Structures are given as C-alpha cells and as structure tokens.
Amino acid sequence: MSTDHQLTELIERYLSGELNEEERLRFETMRRENAAIDSRVVEHQQFTNLLKQYGERVELEKRLNAIHQEIDVHALAEELTVHPSWVVRMWRNHHSKISVAASVAIFAMLATLYSTGYFNKGTSNYTELRREVEKVKQTTENVKRTTNVLMNHIESNGRIVTPSKFTGTGFALTSNGYIVTNYHVVKDADSLYVQNASGDAYHTKLIYTEPTHDIAILKIDDTTFTGLGAIPYTFKKSKSDVGEDVYTLGYPRDDFYYGKGYLSSATGNNGDTTAYQVSLPVYPGNSGGPLLDGKGNVIGIISGKQTQTESAAFAVKSAYLFKAAQSVNADSTAHNINLKGKNALSNLSRQQQIKKLENYVFMVKVYN
C-alpha cells in the first residue's frame, strides 16, 4: 500500500516535472525496464488528463450558460417559429381532443345506423319499415303478456264468478259446436269453456291446433249443449282486397264488443303472407275473434296487434282456417265441419248482422 502510494507520488512528480535530472533519468530507466510501471504512468496520465478536461468542460459550460442568460430566448423563439396555418396549429394543439370527438361522432353515427337497421337492407326506406315490424313482433308479445296481467288482476279483484287465467274470443265453425280461436289463447290450457253473449257457458275440448298459423279448433262437449242452429255467415276462401271495410266482434271485456275498420295490408306481421293487417281498434281478449267483411263473410281471425300505431291489428287469413278445418275433417269424419253454409247476413244492416252474430261468437275462458 505504502509502496503504491510512493509510486503514485513519484509518477505525479515525474509528470509535473518536479523531479531533478538524476531522479528523472533513474525513473525513466525504471519505466523502460518495467512494463507494469510504464502502464501505470500512462494510466495515471490519462486519468488525470480526463479529470482536468472534465474540469475545463464544467468551466466552459458555466461560461456558456452565463452567455445564454443574456439572450431573450422566449422572444427569439416566438419570432423564429414557423407558424403553420391555423388548421395545422389547431390540429397540433388539439389533435387528441379532435380525435376523441371524431371517434364519438363516428361511433354515434354507426350506432344510429345500426339501430335503424341500415346495415341489414339496402335502402333506408325499407329498413325503416322493417324496424317497425320488428317492434310489432315485440309488442304482439306484450299484448299477450298484458292479457295475462289483466286477467290476473281481475281474478284478484274477485269480480268474475268463474275466474279464468286467460280469456280470448272464438267463433262457431259449425252448428254442432266446432269453435275456432287462436292457438296462443288456448295453449297450456287445462280446461276450456266458451260463453256466449247470453251468458251460457259450455265445456269444450281442444280438437286440433296449428301453432304455425296460430289456429286452434275446439269442440263443445257439454251435456247441456243442444246445437247452435244454422251458422249465419260464410267463410271466404279467396283473398280479400286492401281497402275493404271489415269489422270484428269479441270479448276484450266481459261485454260483447264491436270494432270496425278496413283492411290495410295483404300481409301481416313481419311480411307474414298468412295474415292481413287491418286498421281496427282491438284490445287484449280480441284474439281469436272473427274478421268479417261488409257482407258478413269471415275473412280471417284476429290474432294480434301493434301498439306502436293506433288500431293496427293482424288477422290470420281464412284460407288457413280452411286448411285447419280440412285436417279436422280427416281426423274425425263423423263431425263434418260445414264450411259452405248459406250467408244469411249479406242483405242485413250492420246492427242486424251483429244481432245475428251474437250467439255464434264466444268468450273462450282458459283455466290452467
């Protein structure tokens, strides 16, 4: 340690020229003969030079900083900045905000287009229609649910002597007690009763269902039932025209109800070709009721409505009722449904027609 210290001191004195002639010559001889000492000299020289230069650098930087202090950098910067057009400046200063705003705008636009169904169909006119129809589907579901709620409500009030879970409307197919209604009225039913305008109630059983067309056919099997007499209306097989005056009868409440309107479209819910759209005020409970034209021909069965638009309802076309009736015929040939009866209504006024129809339109009561 101490020899190393002495060597370092010697090197320092040698490098600074403090050695006398004799010492210097001796040291140089030693340096030549001993490579280790030589490298120590070089290393020490380099290191101390670096230290010295570092000190000079620090000094120089201080001087430069002092000079720099005297320059009005801010004013110079203002003067020398190349000012781009205001659009570019605006973009540079606010590009993050602008980007966010643009993203939100694009997202909102896409969301709007998507929700209006723009991406589903080619033109916005068409999709507008489709959107409504989509909603109709939902609201039809809502109608059914409302029926449920409404009936439960009545039940809890205890106002009805024979409480039923659901009610709908049905009408006679034949004089011997075949009755047609909607499938959705009678599905999941444990027992079914029909009740006419006079208050006579009969037990019925479910004969046939066709869920795809929302048609169900019931048969009165009550012992007190003696027959209905000749059916005053006929069933129209051909398609009815848009614009035709139509009406319906049904039991949205306990009382017999009459609703009048016109045929507004040859297709039903969601472009369903098996149904008509009619402009007619209907309520929960109207389901399964007959849709008649001015001459007393049954042209369809009321099946649902659209709450979004006032008095827009749907009715299954009578042609599908035919098909259903034929299926029943094939199943039970003994009870032939007569669909070719004479129309006794065509020359009567509306009031007289309704009076005649009263006993052939029933409230369908569903228990489960």
Partner 1 sequence: MSKALNSSAPTDSEVVLGILNNSENILKRVYVAYFPMVLQLIINNNGTADDAKDIYQEAIIVLYNKVKAGNFELSSKLKTFLYSVCRKLWLKRLNQMSRYGGDIKDFENHVLVEDDTDHHTERDIQFSKMEGALKLLGEPCKTIIEDFYIHNHSMQDICERFGYTNADNAKTQKYKCLQRLKKLFFQQ
**How many other CB atoms are there within 10 angstroms of residue 304's CB atom?**
27
Q: Which two three-digit tokens encode residue 305?
A: 């409505």
Cα 45 to Cα 25: distance, rounded to the nearest angstrom: 19
Which of 27, 37, 40, 48 touches partner 1 by CB under 8 A? 48
Cα–Cα distances in Å, from 275 out to 81, 86, 145, 321?
75, 63, 21, 11
**DSSP line for 231-292:** -S-EE--SPPPTT-EEEEEE-SSSS-EEEEEEEEESS-GGG-TTEEEEE----TT-TT-EEE
Nearer residue to partner 1 within complex by CB, 9 or 23: 9
Q: Which residue has the tokens 């590009």?
A: 95
* CB of residue 86 to partner 1, shortest distance in Å: 17
Cα 235 to Cα 181: distance, rounded to the nearest angstrom: 14
Cα–Cα distances in Å, from 184 out to 1, 144, 181, 202, 286?
107, 8, 9, 20, 12
Subset of 58-77 contacting partner 1 (CB under 8 A): 60-61, 63-65, 67-68, 70-71, 73-77
* CB of residue 53 to partner 1, shortest distance in Å: 8
Nearer residue to partner 1 within complex by CB, 51 or 160: 51
Nearer residue to partner 1 within complex by CB, 77 or 330: 77
Residue 181's closest CA among 201, 163, 199, 207?
A: 207
Q: Is 57 in the site for partner 1 (CB under 8 A)?
A: yes
* CB of residue 88 to partner 1, shortest distance in Å: 13
Q: Is 45 in the site for partner 1 (CB under 8 A)?
A: no
* CB of residue 66 to partner 1, shortest distance in Å: 9
Nearer residue to partner 1 within complex by CB, 55 or 271: 55
* CB of residue 31 to partner 1, shortest distance in Å: 20
Nearer residue to partner 1 within complex by CB, 8 or 270: 8
Q: Is 39 in the site for partner 1 (CB under 8 A)?
A: no
- Provide the binding-site residues for partner 1, judged by CB under 8 A: 5, 8-9, 47-48, 50-57, 60-61, 63-65, 67-68, 70-71, 73-77, 79-82
